[in-house]
Chains A and B, each alone.
Chain A
Amino acid sequence: MKIFKKVIFIFIFTIFLGMYLLPLYWIFITAFKIEGEVLASPPIFLPIKFTLDSFKYIFLSRSMFLFLKNSLIISFFSVILSMVLGCFAAFSLAKFKFKKGINNFISNWILSTKFMPPIIIVLPVFFLFKYLGILDTRLCLIIAYTSFNLPFIIWMMKGYFSEIPSDIEEAGLIDGCGKLGVFFRIIIPLSLPGIAASGIFSFILSWNEFIFALILTSSRSTTLPVFISQFITDRGLLWGQISAASFIALIPVVIFAIFSQKYIVRGLTAGAVKG
């Protein structure tokens, strides 16, 4: 009976893992296949010949490098900006007393932005940025991504800051640190793992974002997801190149997911679990 259970377990486990790893393997392998084997039927799982043609094509003929650079710059700066603003705001909400309703109000507000569909926001924001004359610049995406990372970061960091016992802060105050000193010398160093985790999580969110990038930017300053989506509409059959671009887009996501897996569950449920 026990062996029987074990066999069933291993069977389900393998099928499940296969279902998830095979599509990823397929992107990887298609990116390196020679052109004739990409469309082969039956599909070729273990190609003998490998080529970098697809990568050469997307970098040399489709200026992949520009979009990669855009994606990196936009994600990086929006994370830094929202991290700085968000940590200050979270410190204020976690460690100072406000009038009774304010804490709750802001928390609920943050909860509600999580449920807000991006398509509803992007329509008026399009006109706002058009009016300001910053459509199709990296700046407009940095501002947009900062504002939707911000509620998430405030929520996460508020949780981390509240977990720090107030005895430590009081000790700091008695030793003559000052409120700012407490924040920079005690709170920030103690919550570095939390800062790293929410930073990584919002980096991935910005990196993956699609609707804002699609509507607010068009050619010069657009990001990788838009670049990949353009492949599929105008030349739907170049699977080798689509896979190569996707493969590059997935590299940072996979690396970050592996390093921060413990915190990601907390991130995914942020805003729904009051904490």
Chain B
Amino acid sequence: MNNRFFITDSKIKWIFLIPSVLLLLFILIYPLIFSLRLSFSEWKAGSDMVFVGFENYKDLFTDKLFYTALKNTFIFVILATLFELIFGFILALILNREIGKIRNIFRICLILPMMLTPVVVGVTWRMLFNPQYGLVNFFLNITGFQWISNPKIAIFSLIITDIWEWTPFMFIIILAGLQSIPDYLYESASIDGAGTIHVHKYITLPLIMPTILLAVIIRSMDAIKVYDIVYTLTYGGPGSSTEVISWYIYRQGFTYWKMGYAAAASYIMLILIAVLVMLFLKYTNKFLKIS
């Protein structure tokens, strides 16, 4: 059978696979190894890489700005994901039954913000947040409220922008989950005389939980990486009030050229994300087994 083909089965599958694997090794894996070495070294422009052991990591853990960046990232991720979930869930519940006819128009309008260039989203909201002629102050009927230049408010402006951009994502995923719940469950519940709150508590919530967990994992992992809207909306300021972890690494690396230091911070970020992903997956698996 095999000699009918000019390349045998076992070779062709590797020939097809290997170019992709090589490219990914070259761009995604080799850099990580290089970066690990860099994180244990000091490297100044024009000189060789000098091995310094855990010096970079030690400096990092005594740097107040690094803790600020971690804190801001956590505030951002938790608040943004939480509000996106709440708004998305409420909207999906309200619109679940009614959405039939207008679904297509609605879907286009909701998918647009997720596809927009994040840089443009940041720029647009910078315009909307402007204290004198921005639309936000105009609609709230207040003049001169500083959204971006007030250090206490700036991170919340960032969160509002992210909520605007990504609530539709939560909404669409949760709506898909809601619509996969079979109608007969609701019918039998209403025959048994269950009220709205009971129906949601005992039917909707348990059945929708896996979907919600999934959406939360995807969103929070994306939110940790936030960078584009920080660059265009607040530029990390005022002061260090919107200093998030990606921004911190960027500044240390490409503004102050402390490459070893930036690589060390990258590795801390990587470990944090890996731990979070593992916790999420472990929790999700446990939960899915129970339900």
Check B28 against A43 for contact (C-beta < 8 Å). no
| Minimum distance in angstroms from A141 CB to a CB of chain B | 12
The answer for the CA separation of A40 and B125 in the assembled complex, in Å, is 17
| Minimum distance in angstroms from B149 CB to a CB of chain A | 12
Say yes or no for B277: interface residue by CB 8 A criterion.
Answer: yes
Check B112 against A257 for contact (C-beta < 8 Å). yes
Check B227 against A250 for contact (C-beta < 8 Å). no
Check A13 against B95 for contact (C-beta < 8 Å). yes
The answer for the CA separation of A240 and B277 in the assembled complex, in Å, is 43
Check A268 against B119 for contact (C-beta < 8 Å). no
Check B9 against A119 for contact (C-beta < 8 Å). no
Check A17 against B246 for contact (C-beta < 8 Å). no
Known: A9-B95, A23-B124. A232 touches B232 (CB 8 A): yes
Say yes or no for A150: interface residue by CB 8 A criterion.
Answer: yes
Say yes or no for A134: interface residue by CB 8 A criterion.
Answer: no
Stretch of B190-198, B201-209, B266-274 that contacts chain A: B266-274
| Minimum distance in angstroms from A17 CB to a CB of chain B | 6
Among A127, A210, A231, A261, contact of B34 (Cβ-Cβ < 8 Å): A127
Check B28 against A121 for contact (C-beta < 8 Å). yes
Question: Which of chain B's residues 18-69 have a Cβ closer than 8 Å to chain A?
Answer: 19-21, 23-24, 26-28, 30-32, 34-35, 38
Question: Which of chain B's residues 62-99 have a Cβ closer than 8 Å to chain A?
Answer: 91, 94-95, 98
Write the A101-144 contact mask toward B (1 if CB under 8 angstroms, else 0): 00000100100011111111101110110000000000000011
Say yes or no for A41: interface residue by CB 8 A criterion.
Answer: yes
Counting chain B residues whose Cβ lies within 8 A of the other chain, the interface size class is 35 or more
Question: Which of chain A's residues 5-33 have a Cβ closer than 8 Å to chain B?
Answer: 8-9, 12-13, 16-17, 19-24, 26-27, 30
Interface residues of A (CB under 8 A from B): 8-9, 12-13, 16-17, 19-24, 26-27, 30, 39-43, 85-86, 88-89, 91-93, 96, 98, 106, 109, 113-121, 123-125, 127-128, 143-144, 146-148, 150-151, 154, 176, 178-180, 204, 207-208, 210-211, 214-215, 224-225, 228-229, 231-233, 239, 242-243, 246, 249-250, 253-254, 256-258, 261, 264-265, 268-269, 272-273
Pairs A–B under 8 Å by Cβ, sample size 27: A20-B164, A23-B124, A41-B133, A43-B135, A85-B19, A85-B20, A89-B16, A92-B14, A96-B12, A120-B249, A124-B31, A128-B31, A146-B23, A147-B24, A147-B27, A147-B28, A178-B6, A208-B117, A211-B246, A224-B117, A232-B123, A249-B117, A256-B115, A257-B115, A261-B108, A272-B214, A272-B218
13 extra A-B contacts, CB within 8 A, seeds A20-B164, A23-B164, A228-B117:
A27-B120, A41-B133, A43-B138, A85-B19, A85-B23, A96-B13, A117-B269, A124-B35, A147-B27, A150-B24, A207-B117, A211-B246, A239-B127
Which A-B residue pairs are the 8 nearest by beta carbons?
Answer: A124-B31, A147-B27, A92-B16, A96-B13, A89-B20, A225-B119, A88-B16, A120-B266
